[in-house]
Amino acid sequence: MKTLVCVAVLLAAAPAVAKPWQGIEPGQTRRDSILQKFGEPSRVVTNEGKEVVAYFDDKAIKGTRQVQFTVDVGTQQVERISVFPGPVVDKESIESTYGPACPSSGKQPSTPCYQKKLTDDFRTYLFYARLGLAVFLNEDGKTVQSLTFTPQQGAK
């Protein structure tokens, strides 16, 4: 959990455009839109001004094992979406969907690219700064464990 909090802080500080998932956009969509679109969640947990609206087991959203929407209790806006894919998603599929690795030197491309990073517990993730997206890989380094979508810092 500490790792995800650290990554969330990094993502929130990055100048990136929020990437919507299933029509839900971090920093723009409100909690009631989640419930309208996906129905009653499996579980809702509130802690320190944040609410996690989770869909799993028999209420899992199609194509996922679990989805967690983090909502600010005060504004009711979605701050982050964590998606745990149901089918195996490989790194190549991520690169073809969101973009390749950023060049190690020289000018950065105008299209999205990722930087490979490590969490404090040595898990590898691909960070797409322009998209506000972190893709956490499984231990094999080839398949996806989860995707986390966050808004641009200062996004309204």
Give the CATH number, domain containing residue 60: 3.40.33.10
Residue 3 falls within a domain, yes or no? no
Residue 24 falls within a domain, yes or no? no
User: Does the structure show a pLDDT above 70 at 7?
Assistant: no
Cα Rg of the chain, angstroms: 15
Residue 73 falls within a domain, yes or no? yes
What is the Cα–Cα distance from 93 to 155, expressed in whole angstroms? 28
Residue 21 falls within a domain, yes or no? no
pLDDT digits (tens, 9 = 90+) for 106-125: 777 888 999 999 999 999 99
CA atoms within 13 A on the CB side of 2: 3
| Token pair in block for residue 69 | 């929407």
Residue 122 falls within a domain, yes or no? yes
Residue 78 falls within a domain, yes or no? yes
H/E run at residue 95:
helix 91-98
Where are the extended beta strands (E) located within 6-143?
A: 43-47, 50-56, 64-72, 78-85, 115-118, 124-128, 133-137
**Domain range for 126:** 31-102+111-149
Residue 6 falls within a domain, yes or no? no
pLDDT digits (tens, 9 = 90+) for 11-51: 333 334 567 899 999 999 999 999 999 999 999 999 999 99
User: Does the structure show a pLDDT above 90 at 79?
Assistant: yes
Tally of structural domains, the chain: 1
pLDDT, position 18: 61
Q: pTM here?
A: 0.80
Mean per-residue pLDDT of the chain = 86
Beta-carbon count within 10 A of 90 CB: 13
Residue 40 falls within a domain, yes or no? yes
